[in-house]
Each structure stands twice: as structure tokens, then as C-alpha cells.
Structure 1
């Protein structure tokens, strides 16, 4: 998507969510999934501190 296309988009209607409804299986998770979950938890904690 080009910059011009992005300028035409209305992002105000996009949902802002913390607890997104996603299915996760710890049994199927690999190391990358576990690292991503850790990074997401850390990002959530930083966002909570800033609010």
C-alpha cells in the first residue's frame, strides 16, 4: 500500500484492543511463539505504565 493509499484510510474506526481473542495451544507452541508471547506481555506492561 502506498503512502497516498494510507492517507485515504480512516483508521479511527479500527479497534484498539489488548486482549485479542486468539486461539493458542501451548502444546503446539515453539520457541518463537513463546518469545513472542513474552514480548507481547512486556509491551502490554509498558503500555499500562504510560496510561
Structure 2
């Protein structure tokens, strides 16, 4: 149960962003964490594409 409380508390600490607001990535403003997140996203996209391509075989 403590895990749920921590999760709920961390959600409250996040800034509120409207659902439809577009957020643009700017390489010149990116820090190391942003670059790592971009790399993870790219790898995940590649895994998804590989999965979709092999599902049709």
C-alpha cells in the first residue's frame, strides 16, 4: 500500500499541463536526461517497428 501512496504523491508534484498542449523538443535546450529519453524513445520505436514488420510475415 505504501507504494500506491508514493505514486499518488509523485503525481501531485508534477506540474499540470493541458492535455492538448503540444510540447516541442529542442536539441539546443536538451540536457543529458533529455538526450537519454530521446534515445530510449527511438529504440522503443525501432522495436515496435520490428515487431509490426515480423507480425505480417
> TM-score w.r.t. structure 1 length?
0.55
Unaligned 5+ residue runs, structure 1?
Answer: 1-20
Structure ID, larger Rg: 2
Structure with more relative contact order (C-alpha pairs < 8 Å, separation 6 or more): 1
Aligned residue in 1 for 2:44: 43
Q: Report deviation, 1:28.
A: 0.8
Shift >2 Å, 4+ stretches = none
Structure with more helix by fraction:
2
Residues 9-28 of structure 1 mapped to structure 2, 5 A cutoff? 22-28=23-29
Count matched residues.
31
Structural RMSD (CA): 1.2
Equivalent in the alignment of 2:31:
30
Q: Which runs of 5+ in 2 are unaligned?
A: 1-21, 53-57
Q: What TM-score do the two structures reach when normalised by structure 2?
A: 0.50
